[in-house]
Amino acid sequence: MVRLVPSVVDMSIDAPARIVTRSLLIRLLSVMGAAIGFYLPLSVVPLFAKQSGSDLAAGLATVALLVATVLGELGTPRLTARLGYRRSLALGLTLLGLPTVILIADASPATILTVSVVRGLGFAICTVAGGALTAESVPADRRGEGLAVVGLVSGMTSIVALPAGVWAAARWGFAPVFAATAVLTLAALASIPALPGRAAPDGTERNSGVLAGLLRRDLRRPAAVFAFSTAAVGVLVTFLPLALIGRPAWVAATALLVQPTAATAARWVAGRLGDRGGAARLLASGLVLAVLGMAALALTGSPAAVVGGALAFGIGFGLLQNTTLTLMYDRAPDQALTVSAIWNSAYDLGMAAGALVAGFLVTAYGYQWVFVLTAASMLPAFALLRGAPR
């Protein structure tokens, strides 16, 4: 008698691939370390510079951090292709966390700006090399959901770390914040030996061509759509608290908490829906919500409109975050480093450009019209959705 044994091969075809693997769990440790290293002192360093007597350094610290991050992101693909993932992430975490210790002993403007530049380079390496490693650590057919898991961990860490740094500095002083940043960031180095050590398998030439990647229409369009939304984020986080001066303090605090929380949750939803029905179809929904949410922020006299606008914008931004990144990885699966560099550069350049341009417009038009103009500035992004592959 012949026994009928269930086919292992047939069963594995229908079973979905696992997302949360040992490799991804280990990767999440370095994700948390990088998020803490970036966000815990982010708002503390300008306060530290101002208290040290340098208003100029207070204004330039964040600018230096972001400019160095963008420049570092453009060079990281070639660096990682040479060093591999493990050594690149170790270098990034070290540059991001260790220099904050210097600020405990030296509060001069030159030191503050130098530390900001070095930290920006470290964060660039962590985001680009780490992003490429994440994309290669999750199954291709569940990439959207896998990226959402990492985004959820990174987002929740940043939501806690950013206000925690300001609170701790007010309660215990600046030195404990800088020391904690170094310790918690460098602690993530313990996870590095368990990560894959190789760079992208196709070598330097195929994975370090950022400019070549920008020439590809299928990569350039999602990156541009995302940049439109990140410019709006730069406006929101910079000018919404200023626009609400004179209003109840809880309105600005609630809006600034709701926006990133909604974005983090929406990334998870976008990952699940995108893997099941195609990521491209979520782009239009994300843009519509982002535009409507930003326009609602102009109603600064209504707490409900402000908080509701932050909620809608956060959901739209979260959808765009996960969807654009997933699309780019799907369209260039053999160029993970290049995709990571382009997407992260769009993130940081968009935020910086949005805040900079809005700063000039505020004096002429006021905060309410700046929010309206920011919403209108996202409308051209809809033209980039035409003909997008489904």
Q: Which three-class secondary structure string do you get for 202-241?
A: CCHHHHCCHHHHHCCHHHHHHHHHHHHHHHHHHHHHHHHH
At 12, the amino acid letter reads S
> Backbone phi, then psi, for 166, in 5-degree steps?
-65, -45
Q: Which of 34, 25, 125 is nearest to 84 (CA)?
A: 125
The per-residue pLDDT for range 140-151, each reduced to its tens digit, is 777 777 777 888
Q: Which of 100, 365, 63, 121 is nearest to 243 (CA)?
A: 365
User: Could you give the CA distance from residue 37 to residue 35 in angstroms, rounded to a whole number?
Assistant: 5
Residue with token string 């961990």: 153
Q: Which of 318, 180, 200 is nearest to 258 (CA)?
A: 318
Q: Which residues contact 234 (CB under 8 A, 6 or more apart)?
A: 350, 351, 352, 353, 354, 355, 356, 358
- HSE, CB side, 13 Å, CA atoms: give it for residue 365: 14
Q: Which residues contact 155 (CB under 8 A, 6 or more apart)?
A: 260, 263, 264, 267
User: Could you give the CA distance from residue 35 to residue 177 in angstroms, rounded to a whole number?
Assistant: 14
User: Could you give the CA distance from residue 349 to residue 76 in angstroms, rounded to a whole number?
Assistant: 16
Cα 340 to Cα 123, 277, 302: the distances in Å are 13, 23, 39
Token reading at 333: 């699966």
DSSP code for 302: -
User: Could you give the CA distance from residue 380 to residue 186 in angstroms, rounded to a whole number?
Assistant: 42
Burial class (CB in 10 A: 0-12, 13-18, 19+), 172: exposed
Q: Which of 118, 104, 112, 127 is nearest to 35 (CA)?
A: 127
Tens of each residue's pLDDT in the chain, 390 residues: 334 433 344 444 455 566 677 778 888 999 999 999 999 998 788 888 888 887 777 767 877 888 899 899 888 988 988 888 899 999 999 999 999 999 999 989 999 999 999 999 999 999 999 888 887 777 777 777 777 788 888 888 988 888 888 888 888 999 999 999 999 999 999 999 988 766 544 444 444 466 667 778 878 899 999 999 999 998 888 788 888 888 887 888 888 889 988 998 898 888 777 666 566 678 899 999 999 999 999 999 999 999 999 999 999 999 999 889 888 888 887 788 888 888 888 888 888 888 888 888 888 899 899 999 999 999 999 998 864 544
Which pLDDT score is estimated for 7?
38
Q: Which of 208, 181, 38 is nearest to 120 (CA)?
A: 38
User: Could you give the CA distance from residue 197 to residue 178 in angstroms, rounded to a whole number?
Assistant: 30
The per-residue pLDDT for range 253-280, each reduced to its tens digit, is 888 889 988 998 898 888 777 666 566 6
Q: Where are the alpha helices (DSSP H) in the chain?
A: 8-14, 22-39, 44-51, 55-83, 85-97, 102-105, 109-137, 143-172, 174-187, 204-207, 210-214, 217-243, 249-277, 282-296, 303-331, 336-365, 367-377
